[in-house]
Amino acid sequence: MLKKLFDRAFGRKPATSPANAPGTQASAKVDAVAINLQVIARDGHCISRKHISPNALRVLYKLRDAGFTAYLVGGAVRDLLLQGLPKDFDVATNAHPEQVKHLFRNCRLIGRRFRLAHVHYGAEIIEVATFRGIEDDGSGARELVDGRIVRDNVYGTIEEDAVRRDFTVNALYYAIDDYSVRDYVGGFQDVRDRVLRLIGEPTRRLREDPVRMLRTARFAAKLGFSIDPAIVSAISQLKDLLNAAPAARLFDECLKMFMAGYALASFRQLWQLRLFEVLFPETALALRADPADLVLLETALTSTDQRIADDKPVTPAFLFAALLWPAVKVMAARNQQRGAEDPWDDAIHSVVSEQTSRIALPKRFSLPMQEIWSLQSRFETRQKKRVGRLLAHPRFRAAFDFLALRAHADPTLQPTLAFWLSLASGEAAASASTLGDLPTAADGEALSPPKKRRRRRRKPRLDANQTAGAGDHDAG
Ligand code: ATP
Ligand code: MG
């Protein structure tokens, strides 16, 4: 079966042929990278136009009809070869952004660092990038700071564009003229071998853009590919460069790693590559000290992945609450030892300020995250009035789900969870819970029932409409 799928994906014989396209030398070097163009004909791969977004095809044809060259490129080609569904469709062309804008009425130019054309079709955006060049033309269009590319609007040939991309598997071009796949740097074979290899010398490519280290973890997780050992060793030397990466970009990368259905695998890759400790240093220390925190975090990540698979909403507030909770706990314990008046509040504030300077978590997520944490201590109360107030709190649901997460990792919290679960009208709450797939108090016989069911004036409602979970607690 697997073999059949594989043959279908790549064709029975890899019908590659060396290039004889004009302007392409079969074995040239561009920017110290060997270019060896292989053209994989239509019968040598599985990409069919019917799997390509009609809007992307529209863009490709229109550019071609206007006399430009244009290819589908990057993740879409890679994912189509793997028989996956591309998230989006990117186009690379020799047309300059202004020329693209001129051709499409529904086009907007975006980006300062990397100027790009976005062609809008309703909710779908086709990203059109002009081939990036190698040579700095001295115009200031490319800007480097300490070897890092901070701006790159130098345009060039397709060969130059290929070697400027990150991984070989991300540098494949699909041509609409003859439906071939054009491979300049060996990406087609690397897709077959399921291996991530950076184009060019790994330490240089990672210095140029340290976020590529996170992209390594992300693609290894998403695609289940192995990582070229040369990248692993380069990352071990250079991981601290990530500290200098812009906080906003790190937040974006975190979303891509943790909110796209492969959060657990991403976490494990980050951990193995020792990048997690650069992104979340306090959490990493806490996880080493207390394996229960690892259970909590991995459970949260698994549950996030499950919700995405079930097409349920997820929010970074809940996810970051789980990612940083171990750090908050350690810090609160330290504050307590020092005799601080408000050990938890102080811990929450210092973790948030330290972490947001590293990863730019927007306030619309960090505020609900802090509320989720702050409410945890209030679950200890049994006072009628306070219980009622907590049940009516707008963030109760999220905080309750977080309690369930904590109780999963720490059985001593199960009686507390059972108490609140019974108040929050039992079964409906359990089935609507984010952590509905976790063994919560509702299905644990070992749990002690709440001692006494309190009478309340107002029955709190937690019905199925009031869905819970990582996605429903966005304050925004
Ligand atoms: P995904 O399916 O997750 O979006 P993708 O491969 O499309 O994966 P993007 O981040 O959307 O990834 O980038 C599109 C393409 O742009 C990549 O395939 C790669 O060729 C190129 N690219 C993106 N980021 C970088 C980078 N930091 N360095 C070099 N090339 C990059
Ligand atoms: Mg993409």
Give 81-95 pLDDT, tens digit per residue.
Answer: 999 899 999 999 999
The answer as to whether 446 is a domain residue is no
To test ligand 1's pocket by mutation, which of 89, 163, 164, 165 has the most ligand atoms within 8 angstroms of CB? 165
Mean pLDDT of 448-471: 35
Residue 320's pLDDT is what? 97
Q: Is 99 exposed, middle or buried (0-12, 13-18, 19+ CB in 10 A)?
A: middle
- Residues whose beta carbon lies within 6 Å of some atom of ligand 1: 74-75, 87, 90, 165-166, 170-171, 209, 211-212
Q: Is 20 helix (H, G, I), strand (E, B) or coil?
A: coil
Q: Are 329 and 293 in contact (CB under 8 A)?
A: yes
Examine the fold and report which residue of 200, 225, 252 is the final residue of a domain before the chain moves on: 200
Q: Is 157 exposed, middle or buried (0-12, 13-18, 19+ CB in 10 A)?
A: middle
What is the C-alpha to C-alpha distance for residues 82 and 6, in angstroms, rounded to an integer?
9
Asked whether residue 16 carries a pLDDT value surpassing 60, the answer given is no
Q: Are 390 and 338 found together in one domain?
A: no
Contact between 203 and 237 (Cβ < 8 Å)? yes
| Model confidence at 452: pLDDT above 60 | no
- Average pLDDT of 154-183? 95
- Say if 445 falls within a structural domain: no
Residue 135, domain CATH: 3.30.460.10
Give the pLDDT confidence score for residue 291 in this predicted structure.
84
Which residue segment(s) compose the domain that 262 sits in?
201-275
Average pLDDT, the chain: 85
Ligand nearest to the CA of 215: 1
Q: 10 by DSSP, 3-state: which? A: helix
Residues 70, 188: one domain?
A: yes
Q: Give domain status of residue 387, yes or no.
A: yes
The rounded Å distance from CA 442 to ligand 1 centre is 44
Residues 354 and 328 occupy one common structural domain? yes
Indicate if the pLDDT at residue 179 is higher than 70.
yes
Q: Is residue 464 part of a domain?
A: no
Instruction: Indicate which ligand has the atom closest to the C-alpha of 167.
Output: 1
Q: In terms of Cα–Cα distance, which of 170, 174, 156, 176 is closest to 63?
A: 176
Please state, in angstroms and rounded to a whole number, the distance separating the CA atoms of residues 469 and 63: 44
Chain-centroid distance of CA 273 in Å reads 16
The CATH number that applies at residue 297 is 1.10.3090.10
Region at 230 (left for phi over 0; alpha for psi -120 to 50; beta for the rest): alpha
Over 90: is that where the pLDDT of 258 sits? yes
Catalytically active residues, by annotation: 88, 90, 166
Which region, left, alpha or beta, applies to residue 200 given φ > 0 means left and ψ of -120 to 50 means alpha? Answer: left
Among the ranges given (140-149, 390-399, 403-412), the one the predictor scored with the smallest mean pLDDT: 140-149
Number of domains, the chain: 4
160: buried, middle or exposed (CB in 10 Å: 19+, 13-18, 0-12)? buried
Nearest CA residue ID for atom 8, ligand 1: 75
Domain co-membership, 115 together with 164: yes
Q: Within a domain: residue 456?
A: no
- Tell how far the Cα of 265 is from the centroid of ligand 2, in angstroms: 19
Q: Quick one: DSSP state of residue 210?
A: T
Residues 181 and 227 in one domain: no
pLDDT tens per residue, range 27-59: 678 878 889 999 999 999 999 999 999 999 999
Tens digit of pLDDT for each residue in 191-220?
999 999 999 999 999 999 999 999 999 999
Q: Whose CA is nearest to atom 16 of ligand 1?
A: 74
| CA 78 / ligand 2 centre spacing (Å) | 10
Residue 25 has pLDDT above 60, yes or no: no
Indicate which atom in ligand 1 lies nearest the CA of residue 79: 2
* 307 & 328 share domain: yes
Q: Which residue CA neighbors atom 30 of ligand 1 most closely?
A: 165
Say if residue 331 is in the same domain as residue 429. Answer: no
The predicted structure's pLDDT at residue 427? 40
Tens digit of each residue's pLDDT (9 = 90 or more) over 356-368 = 999 999 999 999 9
Q: Is the same domain home to 271 and 288?
A: no
3-state DSSP call for residue 473? coil
pLDDT band at 20 (very low <50, low <70, confident <90, very high): very low
On whether the CB atoms of residues 44 and 13 are closer than 8 A, the answer is yes
Give the domain-ending residue among 352, 374, 396: 374
Alpha-carbon span 449 to 442, nearest angstrom: 10
Q: 396 and 419: one domain?
A: yes
CA-proximal residue: ligand 1, atom 24 (nearest)? 166
Considering the domain boundaries, does residue 451 fall inside one? no
User: In angstroms, what is the span from residue 161 Cα to ligand 1's centroid?
Assistant: 12
Q: Which atom of ligand 1 is nearest to the CA of 129?
A: 16
Mean pLDDT value across residues 67-96: 96
At 435, the pLDDT band (50, 70, 90 cuts) reads very low
Does 63 lie in the same domain as 178?
A: yes
Same domain, 220 and 265: yes
pLDDT band at 433 (very low <50, low <70, confident <90, very high): very low
Can you give the pTM of this predicted structure? 0.83
| Amino acid at the residue 416 | T
Q: Are residues 178 and 82 in the same domain?
A: yes
**Residue 330 falls within a domain, yes or no?**
yes
Q: Name which of 402, 471, 406, 466 is nearest 432 in CA terms.
A: 466
Least confident of 143-157, 164-178, 286-300: 143-157
> Does the residue 332 lie in any domain?
yes
Q: Which residue has the higher pLDDT, 408 or 135?
A: 408
Domain ends where: 255, 275, 295?
A: 275
